[in-house]
Amino acid sequence: MAATLESDIQYLKSLRAVRERSRIVLEAARNGGLSNFELDESWMKETAEFVAGVISRDFGPDRYAEIPPHGRWEHFSIGGIPRLENLVKKWQDSEVPDVEITRRLIDLFFVSVLLDAGAGDTWAFREPGGDQAYGRSEGIAVASLYMFNDGAFSASTDGNKATVDVGPQNPIVGAASRIELLNSFGKSLLSLPEIFGATGRPGLLVDHLLAISKDNDLDYEALWDILQRLLLPAWPSNRPRINGQPIGDAWPLRVLQERSGDSGNPTTGIHPFHKLTQWLGYSLTVPFMKILKRKWINIDKGTGLPEYRNGGLFVDMGVLKLKPEVLAQGLEASGQALPLFPSTGDVIVEWRAMTVALLDELHKHINDILAPQGVSLSLPQLLEAGSWKSGRELAAKHRPETRSSPILIEGDGTLF
């Protein structure tokens, strides 16, 4: 029994579990078995056409191949300013080797993504030397880039501020939840010297992955295993544990519990997502591709990201609809025009599970629509150019004052 439970816990940490559990929830939805939502797949065709239109508007007719994976890189270009490209060129002009440039970008991406907890509807970063202010993920990206260039994360004494160091000599200051997460992340880095060296530098991941690569290709599943080893101990202490082990962004879900048939196994009613880790993983692949010209295998094992832009797309398009009694409870909780639910409660967990499954379905529809043009997008490309952007545009259309999700989420921001 102990060996079986251990293997079941390891399964919850896998990408395979995220997708397979979401398919179970989708099948329940198709049979009217969800606890909180109703599924109307008749709206999927219109949803796919809308998203395909957004993709074609921005990348058609001949730029589809330029669509990057969904990740942090593009956020640094908000306002049409190629900030990261300019920084890379500066390093190249100074004859910094490509491997070191990639290390620096990995340093930056780690802290920038982990700083990207929810910023709310009103916060914005005003860029020095200009009159533009940027909010949400893009604002945090630009702010973190300025911090990185100013040496906010570095304890280096050799004049190179563009590094990330950990340890008591270089404490992080900022909002409480971000301090806790980044300091825990630092401890995890130091606990894996075989990957991140004695200094715990995130960028040394580059050397490790290059050393274990085969046939010049990098393995996304190898990256995933490293990220889980690194981040599972670093997430907030209120995350679920089974048998004393942290399982990360994985939560009880009633519809799975009802269908598990094994009340004695604590893993069967849990739905894993690992959203922030997945977004970090997708983000980290890009510098390897752009700077070192390396390809990734097994990146298709990653799933769609269960967050409020992708999930909001399906709610705003009518594919998912809260059951009347659940909607009433959410409206009472918020006291506003939009329903509010806890981030780890059954409503939001079910919404996230359906988001993962529906993104796979949307991916098939989109590629069918684009096939006559000879176009086939990867799921990370769909997330970048299609679903996330479409969810944001619908939010701006339907809720122009706040541009918020159609369902409000109460939480500490470390999930989304």
Q: For the chain, 416 residues long, give each residue's pLDDT as a single digit of tens.
A: 566 899 999 999 999 999 999 999 999 999 999 999 999 999 999 999 999 999 999 999 999 999 988 888 888 887 788 889 999 999 999 999 999 999 999 999 988 888 775 555 556 667 777 777 666 677 777 777 777 777 766 666 555 666 666 554 444 334 566 678 888 999 999 999 999 999 999 999 999 999 999 888 999 999 999 999 999 999 888 889 999 999 999 999 999 999 887 678 999 999 999 999 999 999 999 999 999 999 999 999 999 999 999 999 999 999 999 999 999 999 999 999 999 999 999 999 999 999 999 999 999 999 999 999 999 999 999 999 999 999 999 999 999 999 999 999 998 666 76
pLDDT at 341: 97
pLDDT at 97: 98
- Give whole-number Cα distances, 22 to 37, 352, 369, in Å: 14, 9, 24
Do residues 254 and 346 touch, judged by C-beta distance below 8 A?
Answer: yes
How would you classify residue 120: left for phi > 0, otherwise alpha for psi between -120 and 50, otherwise beta?
left
Do residues 340 and 326 touch, judged by C-beta distance below 8 A?
Answer: no
pLDDT at 156: 62
Cis amide prior to 342 (ω within 30 degrees)? no
H helices then E strands: how many in the chain? 17, 12
pLDDT at 128: 75
Which of 273, 277, 110 is closest to 186 using CA atoms?
110
pLDDT at 155: 65
Do residues 353 and 12 touch, judged by C-beta distance below 8 A?
Answer: no
Per DSSP, what are the bridge partners of residue 408?
340
The predicted model scores a pTM of: 0.90
pLDDT at 69: 87
pLDDT at 134: 62
Q: Which letter does DSSP use for residue 78 in this model?
A: G
pLDDT at 162: 62
The Cα–Cα gap between 149 and 146 comes to: 5
Do residues 365 and 50 touch, judged by C-beta distance below 8 A?
Answer: no
Question: Angle of helix 136-149 relative to helix 98-114, nearest 10 degrees?
Answer: 130
pLDDT at 170: 44
